Amino acid sequence: MDPETHYARSGEVSIAYQVTGAGPVDLVWVPGFVSNVELAWQQPTLAAFFNELGTFSRLIRFDKRGTGLSDRVGVAPLETRMDDVRAVMDAVGTSRAALLGSSEGGPLSLLFAATYPARTSALVLWSSFPRSSWAPDYPWGETEQEFEEDVRKTLDSWNDRDAMMKEAEELAPGIDEESKLALASLWRQSASPRDVEALWRMGREIDVRHVLSAITAPTLVINRTGEHPIIVQGSRLLAEHISGARHVQFPGVDHLIAAGDTGPIVDEIRHFVEDTASSEEDAQPDRLLVTLLFTDIVGSSDRAAAVGDREWRELLERHHELVRRQLVRFRGNEIDTAGDGFFASFDGPARAIRCGCAIAEAMPDIGLTVRIGLHTGECEVIDGKVAGIAVHTGARVAASAQPGEVLVSGTVKDLVAGSGLVFEDRGVHRLTGIPGEWRLYAVGR
């Protein structure tokens, strides 16, 4: 019998998932480009590969929102997709699992592992990368011209079965014609041309290099040596910047993990997740990735002197009430209030930005103006509080904001691709007491 498809509720969206295998290790497959949990079983090489994974794990597969059998609600940022992964894990009753991120599923897996280390027992990255677009410090990435040509080629293929077969041949030359046809059919039935283009354009904006130092889960990076430089060099960079990561390369040119000789790959994954599963599950993480928000009332001293102590105290109470209302709305965690400012943390940068904007927009109603700064970084967890240079960086970003402005670091901007948020470049800044130069961006209204 075909495995049964279930749905997990993530907010208002239904996420399709399947569970197969009965091994002792929970393994979440985070798909790449597009997927379909049911049609995958009609693609012989994928079916065989998933069955192999199921011999040593309880394999949990899902379709990202906007693709496959999940609700077709368009693309979503990594932050929202992290919520979807958590919803699926909750639905199947697993509090902690190994993640296997394939290709474009790698950045999502990396962000999840850094943000929720207590729920990540191990991380396996197949043919993945921290970013795909060219940059002066990322010379093997795709240029704008190359990207636009690839988008055009892919969209043309979606209208032509023969062209789609050629796409399958390029990504998986090691599979037979029947499997290529099934793979092409799976792709076309997993997303519309419009969604495909949106997925590509969002993916181009993602950059999770700043996240890598926050990964504490045991990590295995795998790729084939003959793949595109984006994969080969990107995998090498991942392995070099994730503490303790193991990097294994196999011969071949196939990008599809299920193509070619998969036996050694499955064995490598099996040994890795079984070894890491025996580690202490109850250990609490001592560092994690968070987005930090700082607020400050503009001209508070002058205003307090002008209105007097009693009226200022009442105004501060109204200010605090407004801020706390938005923190609850956007799932923020109030850490401290120092004078007239707030310090809060979030497990998602887009929510933090929207919270900051909501706070800034509400203040004129009570006659106040605030400046707000946000930064995403690795923090130490000490007695339930967060500490570290990321905290100081966030505070300095806030100090650089103009009245009424929500200012973010480049790290925050890089992590919210697909959120619909827009930014205005505020140039490069030197932040007092923080090494290096920082490019800052104001959130557009």
Closest CA to 56 of 24, 86, 79, 97: 24
Q: What is the pLDDT of residue 69?
A: 97
Query: What CATH number should be reported for the domain holding residue 311?
Result: 3.30.70.1230
155 with 182, same domain? yes
Report the sign of the C-alpha dihedral through residues 34, 260, 206, 378, in that order.
Answer: positive
Q: Are 37 and 20 in contact (CB under 8 A)?
A: no
264 with 312, same domain? no
Token digits of residue 438: 């920082």
Q: Give the count of domains, the chain.
A: 2
19 with 111, same domain? yes
pLDDT at position 86 over 80: yes
Closest CA to 207 of 111, 130, 144: 130
Dist CA 287 CA 381 (whole Å)? 5
305 with 270, same domain? no
Residue 382: phi and psi, rounded to 5, are: -125, 110
* 141-168 pLDDT tens trace: 999 999 999 999 888 888 888 888 888 9
178 with 69, same domain? yes
Dist CA 215 CA 427 (whole Å)? 29
Q: Are 376 and 290 in contact (CB under 8 A)?
A: yes
Among 213, 248, 277, residue at a domain's last position: 277
pLDDT at position 282 over 70: no
Among 240, 255, 277, residue at a domain's last position: 277
339 with 223, same domain? no
**Average pLDDT of the residues in 137-144:** 95
Token digits of residue 131: 């970013």
Is the residue at 394 inside a domain? yes
CA 114 to chain CA mean position, Å: 9
* 117-135 pLDDT tens trace: 999 999 999 999 999 999 9
Q: What is the pLDDT of residue 339?
A: 74
Is the residue at 28 inside a domain? yes
Q: Which residues contact 313 (CB under 8 A, 6 or more apart)?
A: none
**Average pLDDT of the residues in 102-119:** 96
> Whose structure tokens read 């430089």?
229
Token digits of residue 429: 């800044």
Q: Where are the alpha helices (DSSP H) in 175-247?
A: 177-188, 193-205, 229-241
182 with 301, same domain? no
Q: Of all residues in the chain, what percent carry a pLDDT higher than 70? A: 98
285 pLDDT band (50/70/90 cuts)?
low
pLDDT at position 438 over 80: yes
Among 217, 246, 277, residue at a domain's last position: 277
Q: Of all residues in the chain, what percent carry a pLDDT higher than 90? A: 82
Q: Give long-range contacts, CB 8 A cutoff, 24+ apart: 418-421.
A: 418/75, 418/76, 418/77, 418/78, 418/198, 418/202, 418/205, 419/77, 419/79, 419/350, 419/353, 421/350, 421/353, 421/354
* Higher pLDDT pick, 250 / 160: 250
- Determine which of 45-54, 217-226, 261-270, 298-307 has the lowest per-residue pLDDT on average: 298-307
Is the residue at 312 inside a domain? yes
Q: What is the pLDDT of residue 76?
A: 87
75 pLDDT band (50/70/90 cuts)?
confident
179 with 65, same domain? yes
**Average pLDDT of the residues in 226-230:** 95
Query: What CATH number should be reported for the domain holding residue 258?
Result: 3.40.50.1820
339 with 321, same domain? yes
Q: What is the pLDDT of residue 283?
A: 55
pLDDT at position 106 over 90: yes
Is the residue at 329 inside a domain? yes
Strands 370-382 and 406-409: parallel
**Residue 379 lies in domain:** 287-443
Is the residue at 431 inside a domain? yes
67 with 174, same domain? yes
Is the residue at 303 inside a domain? yes
56: left (phi over 0), alpha (psi -120 to 50) or beta: alpha
What is the DSSP code string of 251-291?
Answer: S----STTSS--HHHHHHHHHHHHHHHTS-TTPPPSEEEEE
pTM of the model: 0.91
Q: What is the pLDDT of residue 280?
A: 53
241 with 330, same domain? no
What are the E-state strand segments in 103-253?
Answer: 120-126, 219-224, 246-250
Mean pLDDT of the chain: 93
135 with 261, same domain? yes
pLDDT at position 227 over 90: yes
Helix (H) or strand (E) holding 371, with range, is strand 370-382
Closest CA to 250 of 127, 123, 130, 129: 127
Q: Which residues contact 274 (CB under 8 A, 6 or more apart)?
A: 25, 56
At 26 the three-state DSSP class reads strand
CB atoms within 10 A of CB 308: 9
Is the residue at 1 inside a domain? no
